[in-house]
Chain A
């Protein structure tokens, strides 16, 4: 059975930093791109970032460009999101997601989500 297990929720002050993690089991991790998607309270889904299978290229939503960094360690079957200079509007449930084998889309497998709260 496929599992994407994410790190626990956290509260951080504005301007602070945080690293989210997502570890896969039951699936070949390194065969596809990986994504982060978020949902702010009472809002819809927002795509955040994508990293290619080998970590060679990364893409970001305008709202996080220059503040967030996506990375992966295929030896550890793990995906990360380094979040710097956090803002209250970054408060959201963050999901990691994996497409099918050898693909960048669609988002077939999802983690359970990590709640990030940015508050004074």
Chain B
């Protein structure tokens, strides 16, 4: 199975900061990678698919990049609504693992 390693597990930042979350696959997944945002009490939200495609309705301050084994999610200028947890997921092959998650906290 392909394992996904996401870092950092926790990230403290301020409104207006630029932040980057990384995700590494244990073997190549081409660009079969998605990023999701989770907030308590709300359904998960798809942000990025196919590594770099922005889901409709997601603000342009979110961007994704990478291919093969190394990927990043970047938020160019943090807004108050962005403080949440973020997960990468590979969908190249079974068992469709998620990364461990990154909790983005207010500094």
By a beta-carbon cutoff of 8 Å, the part of chain A in contact with chain B is 4, 37, 39, 44-47, 50, 59, 61-62, 95, 97, 104-108, 110-113
What 0/1 readout, one digit per residue, does chain B (83-102) give for beta carbons within 8 Å of chain A? Answer: 00001010100111111110
Apart from A45-B101, A105-B91, A107-B89, 9 more pairs, CB < 8 Å:
A44-B101, A46-B98, A104-B91, A105-B32, A105-B96, A106-B49, A107-B36, A107-B44, A110-B43
Q: What are 14 inter-chain pairs, A to B, with CB distance below 8 A?
A: A37-B44, A44-B99, A47-B89, A47-B97, A97-B44, A105-B91, A106-B34, A106-B89, A107-B34, A107-B89, A108-B46, A110-B43, A111-B43, A112-B43
CB of B71 to closest CB in A, whole Å:
13
Q: Taking the complex as formed, is B38 at the interface, i.e. its CB lies under 8 A from any CB of chain A?
A: yes
User: Which residues in A have their C-beta under 8 angstroms from that of B82?
Assistant: none
Overall SS of chain B's interface:
loop
The complex places the Cα of A111 from the Cα of B99 at a distance, in Å, of 21
User: Are the C-beta atoms of A59 and B94 separated by less than 8 Å?
Assistant: yes
User: Are the C-beta atoms of A62 and B43 separated by less than 8 Å?
Assistant: no
The complex places the Cα of A110 from the Cα of B99 at a distance, in Å, of 18
CB of B106 to closest CB in A, whole Å:
20
The complex places the Cα of A110 from the Cα of B44 at a distance, in Å, of 6
What 0/1 readout, one digit per residue, does chain B (35-74) give for beta carbons within 8 Å of chain A? Answer: 0101000011110011000010000000000000000000
